[in-house]
Amino acid sequence: MTASRGDRDPRRAAAVVFVALLALYLATLAPRVTFWDAGEFVAAIESFGVPHPPGTPLYVMLGRVWRMLLGVLPAAAAVNALSAVCTAAACAVAASEIARRTRSIAIGIAAGIAAGCMSSVWLDATEAEVYSSALLLSALMLAVGLRAGEAAGDAGDRAAPRMRALLAYLFALAAPLHPSALVAGPAALFAAV
């Protein structure tokens, strides 16, 4: 018996990884301010201020909108939840791309869960940190770069210019978010050509 298209849909891997990791992160979410930069980020988001250099203005704006949406939660818990959602989404993007490339949902799910359960990733997913949103942006840049490269390989595919424009847009968002998001840039650009 052959598998139907739905059985190989990489979005299923992304959905499983997102839900599983989000549940894990929310269960282990820091309820209050944690050490290091978390308090500074929560305060900057609450006051719409500027944290330490490089400033991360896009993160502060995203956090402010998120905080308004989750206004019933304490400030620290709401911003911590933003990190959980961003990290779960980043791992879901990775799971989808891996499942698509390997044609195996199980491999995509395993890779996404493994990436999300690495100690440094898990730690940043449960506290107010800019690295979770930078990870999501990096994952999106890599996924779009890979798709742009595939589209460029198909002579009749007109999606390549749109994908490259989207990649440029994501690349431009990396600077106001956090410089660590730029780390994925060269690989995404290489994949796009």
Share of residues in the chain with pLDDT > 90 (%) = 32
- Check whether 163 has a pLDDT greater than 50: yes
Q: Which of 102, 127, 173, 139 is nearest to 25 (CA)?
A: 127
Enter the tokens of residue 81: 């939840």
Q: What is the pLDDT of residue 89?
A: 97
Q: Which DSSP state fits 4?
A: P
* C-beta of residue 79 within 8 angstroms of C-beta of residue 45: yes
Q: pLDDT digits over 132-158, tens only?
A: 999 999 999 999 888 888 877 776 667
CA–CA distances in Å: residue 166 to residues 1, 91, 102, 134? 39, 20, 24, 17
One-letter identity of residue 132: S
**Which phi-psi region, left, alpha or beta, contains residue 49 (left: φ > 0; alpha: ψ -120 to 50)?**
beta
56 has a pLDDT exceeding 90 = no
Reported as a single tens digit per residue, the pLDDT across 9-50 is 888 999 999 999 999 999 998 888 777 777 677 777 777 777
Q: What is the pLDDT of residues 85-104, one digit of tens each?
A: 999 999 999 999 999 989 99
pLDDT higher than 50, residue 84: yes
Cβ neighbours for 63, distance < 8 A, ≥ 6 positions apart: 41, 44, 45, 79, 82, 128
pLDDT class of 71 with cuts at 50, 70, 90:
confident
